A and B are shown apart, each in its own frame.
Chain A
């Protein structure tokens, strides 16, 4: 299974600012995913990030608000732009398992509080 780390693990930010979250994987993966988990809620997929192409965003999420980079096969960033208190959530990245398997492996998450 892949080992995924995220930075920062948590942060408290002021409204109107931006935060970039990093996701590092210990092996090369094609697809990486970014999720949001609002307080007390389930996970919602924000976007899928493939190396070498633009991220594909789900309905309700736009690139201007959540720009994503995927510079190589082991790393991705998600930026939460112009933050408001409604952006307070846990943000998680995940990766696909080995080819031929269908599971995803998740990072520990980044807990963001916007004041």
Chain B
């Protein structure tokens, strides 16, 4: 599976959009981009995934660049409950997930 690079941490203002970048320059054609988050003392929670088109669901939007070498997870209106570690993972469909270090996001009032 391709490796991903994410910033170690970032702060966001409550009510504003949070944009979380991820680089995956070695992604192959059949690999998906997944985003999970882990709130303190809980198991990881699936957020969204995509192959090459942008995706949106009730939690977030995923923007994937045309060359698929990077992506951005957008939380449209961050709340204090969005404080968590966010993991960007690249994997083939149905394959195992390899978690990297993730981005520790702190939403501030």
Q: Which residues of A contact B (CB under 8 A)?
A: 1, 4, 31, 33, 35, 42-45, 48, 58, 92, 94, 96-97, 102-109
For chain B, give the interface size range. Answer: 10 to 19
In chain B, positions 57-102 with a C-beta closer than 8 Å to chain A are 87, 93-94, 96-102
Q: Is the CB of B97 within 8 A of A45?
A: yes
Chain A positions within 8 Å of B98 at CB level: 45
Q: Which residues of B contact A (CB under 8 A)?
A: 32, 34, 42-46, 49, 87, 93-94, 96-102
Q: Is the CB of B87 within 8 A of A42?
A: yes
Chain A positions within 8 Å of B46 at CB level: 1, 97, 103-105
CB proximity of A94 to chain B, nearest CB, Å: 7
Q: Is the CB of B94 within 8 A of A106?
A: no
In the assembly, what is the distance between CA of A104 and CA of B43, in Å? 11
Chain A positions within 8 Å of B45 at CB level: 106
Q: Is the CB of B43 within 8 A of A94?
A: yes
Query: Majority SS of interface residues in chain B?
Result: loop
Chain A CB count within 10 A is highest, among B43, B99, B100, for: B43
Q: List 30 A-B contacts (CB under 8 A).
A: A1-B46, A4-B43, A33-B96, A33-B97, A35-B99, A42-B87, A42-B99, A43-B44, A43-B97, A45-B96, A45-B97, A45-B98, A48-B96, A58-B96, A92-B44, A94-B44, A97-B46, A102-B32, A102-B34, A102-B49, A102-B93, A103-B34, A103-B49, A104-B97, A106-B44, A106-B45, A107-B43, A108-B43, A109-B42, A109-B43
Chain B positions within 8 Å of A4 at CB level: 43
5 smallest beta-carbon distances between A and B, as pairs:
A106-B43, A103-B46, A43-B99, A42-B99, A106-B44
